[in-house]
Structure 1
Amino acid sequence: MNAPFSPQGRNPFDDPLDRILAEIALSAQLPPSLHRNAGGRYAAVRAHLEADAAFEDQIEHFYPQGSMAIDATISNRGTDDEYDLDIVSQLGGRFRQMGPLAILLELERALKDYPVRKVVRQSRCVTLYYADRMHLDITPGLRAYGTLDRESYITHAKGPIASTDDRFVDMNGFGFAEWYCGRTPLEYRMAKAFHDHWLNLEASSLRADAEVDEVPDQCEFVVKNTATLALQLVKRFRNIRYADYDGRVPPSVMLSYYAGMAAKPDSTLSEMVIRLANWIIGDIEHASRHGQKLHVANPICEDDVFTDRWPETIRQQDEFAVYLNELVAGLEAAKRGNQSADQLMDWLRNRFGDRVVTKAADRMADEIGAGVQSADQRYTRKGGLLLPTAGIVAATASPSVVKARPHCFYGYRF
Structure 2
Amino acid sequence: MNVAYPGPWPVLNDYDALLMDVARRIQLSKTKHEVAETNFRALCQYVDREGSPLENKVIECYPSGSFATGTAIASRVAKDQHDVDVVMELDVASNTAPSAILSLLFKAINGEEGSRYHGKVTQNSRCVTVEYDDGTTVDLMPIARIDGPERAGNLFHHKAETGESYHKRVNPWGFAKHFNDHVDFDPAFHDLFKGRRMLVEGKIVEKAETQPMPEHVPIEEKSARVVALQLLKRNRDIVWRAPSRKGRKPPAIALSAMSLDAGPVHPSLLDEVIAIATYIRTRLLETNGPRGTVRVVNPAYPADEFTDRWPENKTAQDLYDGDLRRLIVDLYKLRNEDLSLAEQQEVLKRLFGETAASYAIVSKLEAQRHEMDANRMRLTNTGKVVGMAAPAVVAPSSTPAKAATREGGGELSQ
The answer to whether TM tops 0.5 is yes
Partner of 2:389 in structure 1? 385
Structure 1 residue 369 corresponds to structure 2 residue 369: yes
Name the amino acid aligned to 1:21.
Answer: L
Q: Which has the higher contact order (CA 8 A, sep 6+)?
A: 2
Structure 1 window deviating more from structure 2 (13-22 vs 173-182): it is: 13-22
Matched with 2:75 is 76
Q: Which amino acid aligns with 1:157?
A: H
Unaligned runs of 5+ in 2: 391-408
Aligned to 2:31: 33
Among 94, 107, 110, the alignment partner of 2:108 is 110
Which structure 1 segments of 5+ residues have no match? 209-214, 387-406
Mapping 1:114-125, distance limit 5 Å? 114-115=116-117, 118-125=120-127
Alignment of 1:19-98 (within 5 A): 19-53=17-51, 54-77=53-76, 80-93=79-92, 96=94, 98=96
Name the CA shift for 1:158/1:323 in 2 (closer, same or farther; >3 Å): same
Mean Cα deviation higher: 15-24 or 75-84: 75-84
Contact in 2 for aligned 1:298/1:306 (Cα 8 Å): yes
Paired position in structure 2 for 1:17: 15
SS of equivalent residue, structure 2 residue 349: helix
Distance change (3 Å), C-alpha of 1:261 and 1:243 = same
Per-residue CA deviation, residues 295-328 of structure 1 (Å, 9 max, x unaligned), is 1111122221111111112122112112211211
When residues 149 and 354 of structure 1 are mapped into structure 2, their CA distance, relative to the original with a 3 A threshold, is same
Q: 1:55 to 1:246 in 2, by over 3 A?
A: same
CA 1:333–1:205: 2 relative to 1, 3 Å: closer
C-alpha separation in 2, matches of 1:56 and 1:196: 51
- Give the deviation of 1:272 after TM superposition: 0.5
Between Structure 1 and Structure 2, the one with more helix by share is: 1
1:12–1:19: 8 Å Cα contact kept in structure 2?
A: no
Kindly provide the amino acid, as one letter, of the partner of residue 156 in structure 2: T
Q: Report the Cα distance in structure 1 between the residues aligned to 2:122 and 2:238, rounded to whole angstroms.
A: 25
What fraction of aligned residue pairs are identical, expressed as a percent? 26
Tell me what 1:152 maps to: 153
Query: Is the contact between residue 349 and residue 357 of structure 1 (CA under 8 Å) also seen in structure 2?
Result: yes
1:392 aligned residue: none
Q: 1:339 to 1:365 in 2, by over 3 A?
A: closer
Deviates more, 1:44-53 or 1:223-232: 44-53
Contact preservation (8 Å) 2:130, 2:139: yes
Q: Distance in 1 between matches of 2:8 and 2:358?
A: 24
Trace 1:217-296 onto structure 2 (pairs within 5 A).
218=211, 220=213, 221-223=217-219, 224-244=222-242, 245-262=245-262, 264-287=264-287, 292-296=292-296
Render the CA deviation track for 1:138-183: whole Å, top value 9, x for unaligned.
11000012x11111111111337xx751111111111111111122
Aligned runs of 1:190-209 on 2, under 5 Å?
190-191=189-190, 204-205=200-201
Between the two proteins, the alignment pairs up a number of residues equal to 372
- Rounded to whole Å, the distance in 1 between the matches of 2:276 and 2:211 is 31
Equivalent pair of 2:283/2:294 in contact (CA under 8 Å):
yes
Give distance in 1, aligned partners of 2:37 and 2:378.
38
1:136, CA displacement in angstroms?
Answer: 1.0
Instruction: Write the distance in 2 (CA, Å) between the matches of 1:225 and 1:310.
Output: 27
For 2:128, the equivalent position in structure 1 comes to 126
CA distance in structure 1 between the aligned counterparts of 2:145 and 2:4, rounded to whole angstroms? 36
